Structure 1
Amino acid sequence: MTALDPELAAAIEAIEAAGVPEWHRLSVASARRVEDDVFTPDERRDVAFVRDLSLSGPGGDVPVRIYHDDPDRPAPMVVFYHGGGWTLGTLDSIGGVCRELAARAGCVVVSVDYRLAPEHPFPAPLDDAYAALEWTVETADAFGGDPEHVSVAGTSAGGNLAAAVALRARDFDGPEIAAQHLLYPMTDRDTTRPSYEEHGDGPLLTRAAVEWFWEHYCRSPVDAANPYASVLRADHADLPPATVVTAGHDPLRDEGRAYADALDDAGTPVEHRHYPSMAHGFLSLADDVAVADDALDAVAARVRSS
């Protein structure tokens, strides 16, 4: 096994020193406060255009934040879904990654603040995520975006939503999606894969936390088996070209790899980028970790070429 990158180990030590308990040992309200406090960056890359708006979703208004570093130039668009196990996460906590993508890829990023479980379990977050895709395509011109080049992307549970949105758009004759960028995605309810045995105690994500998140998201085993929730169980043919990023020290490693393999087996173009020395959530630490910085550049290049 490749050792944990020393720069990442130092960054994790600093996070743990901030006193972050395991998510499943907290109330949902406390976990949300801690996640927002610890993972919202203090310093932010300047982006020329940032605007908070809301779209009309199936369950009410859905807040979105638009990032565009060069508003005078038409650009590809990325609808971005934050992680947090469908339970945690905000526009602020993923803002650092969205700003970096907007600047590095020269794209318009539409970050989506979808409804969260357990108050709004499956399929409510997915319904919001899909509504945001439709809205982005319909309003692209207003932000200097190209409606013919709209991708979906997300981290962790947000990667799950991006994959599910692509499945739903295919199955229900939805908007054309240029690409899907799935960053250490949650793809299946099964937590018995070897990566859970190896890294079930973390760092940054544990098996217990993953199971806690799934319990909040899915109301029943029927929901958990639904291919729009456990996206690994879907048909993976005729989907948009994909980028799948996985980390060696991540309990989600094997299900991410399995998703890349399923796409490839079904004939969907996929690039699987694996980082053996990284852990879950590493792209948010690009300021402190050189490997993460390089990985974010690689994701931006894939977005730019979509």
Structure 2
Amino acid sequence: MPLHSEIAKVLAALPPAPHGPLDPATMRAAEEQDVVPADERLPLHAVEEMTARTPSGEVPVRVYTPAEADSHGLLVYFHGGAFFLGSLDTHDHIARSPAAETGLKVVSVGYRLAPEAAFPAGLDDCYAVLRWTAEHGETLAWDRTTLAVAGDSSGGTYAAVAARAHDDGFHHITHQILYYPSLDLDFDTDRYPSRREDAVGHGLETAGLKPFNAFYFGSGADPADPLVSPIKRTDLGGLPPALVVTGECDPLRDEGELYARRIWEAGGKATVSRYAGAGHGFVQHFSWIPEYHQVFAETSAFLGRR
């Protein structure tokens, strides 16, 4: 199936990418300009700015409470952005929608970014906040049932790594939700068919994978390290059930689907949901299209919610 017509229309209207090296500051500023004003965002019962004081340092978090209740299940969310872009604001809508759809309280993590923060600073922040949520369950009114971890794109990388917390004796994670995750940062074009089939014309292009992740690599991230490329972990046994959402036209499609298959082969549970006509980033940029907004209802069903 070709790229969704609405996505193709938006991509065709974008100005050509500037020549020369990527500039994180300029790109971050451009992202922030597109943030929806606060009074136009999906309303929830409460949205609170908090600071998670952790062994990794003080990490800003935004806590979304969907409705008034004595307690809630929790979903800890890590935003995408190739490890150097994204913020609590740029991905605010991705945190609000699953909160509203699932009834879970969502904790969105403002982790440190490359290249200013060297690897593994961002990962350490995410992992530390995950543990902080359980340790501060009373403050967060956690119902001690669901504790899901979720992320999109590079946030999906961090979510997949954090889901291994059982290695450290942390057994509270009940689900992992990975939206078009980046799981193999060895960007050899021939490693996966989708990297050739969807190499150009769908937004994220295969040729752009190395430049966009160069800030992460330059900060010390080694693609051969399973903490950087979760698919390189030899044993995927014991992981919490996974929902892996992929886009049909995404060059990262096949690594996500292989990861889910390997979880099954290791005796775990994994569900793959491939969205037709979708390119990389469709949850962030195109969830206003009804068939793609369905991803939040699917997330809710996976979590056993409404």
Q: Name the TM-score, length of structure 2 as normaliser.
A: 0.90
Residue 36 of structure 2 corresponds to residue 41 of structure 1: yes
2:20 & 2:115 partners in 1: Cα distance? 13
Partner secondary structure for residue 111 of structure 1: strand
Counterpart mapping for 1:1-306 below 5 A: 2-13=1-12, 16=14, 19=15, 21=17, 25-38=21-34, 40-42=35-37, 43-167=40-164, 169-191=165-187, 192=189, 193-219=192-218, 223-234=222-233, 235-285=235-285, 288-305=288-305
Partner secondary structure for residue 297 of structure 2: helix
Partner secondary structure for residue 142 of structure 1: coil
Q: Which range moved further: 187-196 or 204-213?
A: 204-213
Query: Aligned-pair distance for 1:13?
Result: 4.2
1:252 & 1:227 partners in 2: Cα distance? 17
Distance 1:297 1:23, change over 3 A: farther
1:151 & 1:260 partners in 2: Cα distance? 17
Contact 1:24–1:208 (8 Å) recurs in 2? no
Query: Aligned-pair distance for 1:276?
Result: 2.4
Contact 1:102–1:109 (8 Å) recurs in 2? yes
Contact 2:186–2:224 (8 Å) recurs in 1? no
1:53 & 1:233 partners in 2: Cα distance? 34
1:200 & 1:271 partners in 2: Cα distance? 25
Partner secondary structure for residue 59 of structure 2: strand
2:110 & 2:136 partners in 1: Cα distance? 17
Contact 1:237–1:263 (8 Å) recurs in 2? yes
Query: Aligned-pair distance for 1:175?
Result: 4.1
Query: Aligned-pair distance for 1:241?
Result: 0.5
Contact 2:236–2:266 (8 Å) recurs in 1? yes
Contact 1:11–1:285 (8 Å) recurs in 2? no
Q: Which range moved further: 5-14 or 259-268?
A: 5-14
Aligned structure 1 segments of 4 or more residues deviating by more than 4 angstroms: 22-25, 219-222
1:229 & 1:125 partners in 2: Cα distance? 11
Query: Aligned-pair distance for 1:221?
Result: 8.5
RMSD value, Cα: 2.2
Contact 2:103–2:305 (8 Å) recurs in 1? no
Query: Aligned-pair distance for 1:247?
Result: 0.3
Paired residue type of 2:78 = Y
1:266 & 1:156 partners in 2: Cα distance? 23
Task: Give the number of aligned pairs.
Answer: 300
Paired residue type of 2:208 = A
Partner secondary structure for residue 279 of structure 1: coil
Q: Which range moved further: 66-75 or 259-268?
A: 66-75
Query: Aligned-pair distance for 1:23?
Result: 9.9
Q: Which range moved further: 232-241 or 291-300?
A: 291-300
Q: Name the TM-score, length of structure 1 as normaliser.
A: 0.90
Percent identity over the alignment is 36
